[in-house]
Amino acid sequence: MENQLIRFEEFKPLTGYSFKICAAGTSHFVDARLREVELLGAGNANKGADRSPFSLLFEIAEQQVMIQGLYDLQCSAGNWSNIFLVPVTAGGDGWRLEAVFN
């Protein structure tokens, strides 16, 4: 879904779905689950904005180091390229990565 504006309404129904995530430009995919899709603030787009701000939170069970950067996402509902993900927590159960869309 390249070159399209990503929206909350597109991802909310995918909560709980399994995804394959790989660093953009590589071919090493890791398994992830979309844990949370959350509207930010009041959930209303700023005047003149094309979408409401929202965030995505993914869980990854693998114990490898995940760094912030551009990732490609795949799931049964579609593919998305160049999503900027930031690791927000790491622990014995894996990683959580977040994407924020303004």
H-assigned helices in 1-102: 8-11
pLDDT at 1: 45
pLDDT at 66: 84
pLDDT at 54: 95
Residues in the chain: 102
Domain that holds residue 34: 8-101
76-91-95 Cα angle (round to 5): 25
What is the pLDDT averaged over residues 19-39? 92
The model's pTM is 0.85
Confidence of residue 30 (pLDDT cuts 50, 70, 90): very high
- How many domains is the chain built from? 1
Whether 87 maps to a domain, the answer reads: yes
More confident position, 18 or 26: 18
Strand-pairing partners, residue 99, are: 56
**DSSP designation for 6:** -
**Sequence-ordered list of residues with C-beta below 8 angstroms from that of 10, at least 6 positions apart, any chain:** none
pLDDT at 33: 95
Would the pLDDT of 28 be above 70?
A: yes
For 34, the 3-state DSSP assignment is: strand
Whether 1 maps to a domain, the answer reads: no
Whether 2 maps to a domain, the answer reads: no
Q: Is 9 left (phi over 0), alpha (psi -120 to 50) or beta?
A: alpha
CA distance 53 to 102: 4
Give per-residue pLDDT as tens, 34-88.
Answer: 999 999 976 555 565 677 899 999 999 877 778 899 999 999 988 998 999 999 9
Tokens of 71: 């990732």
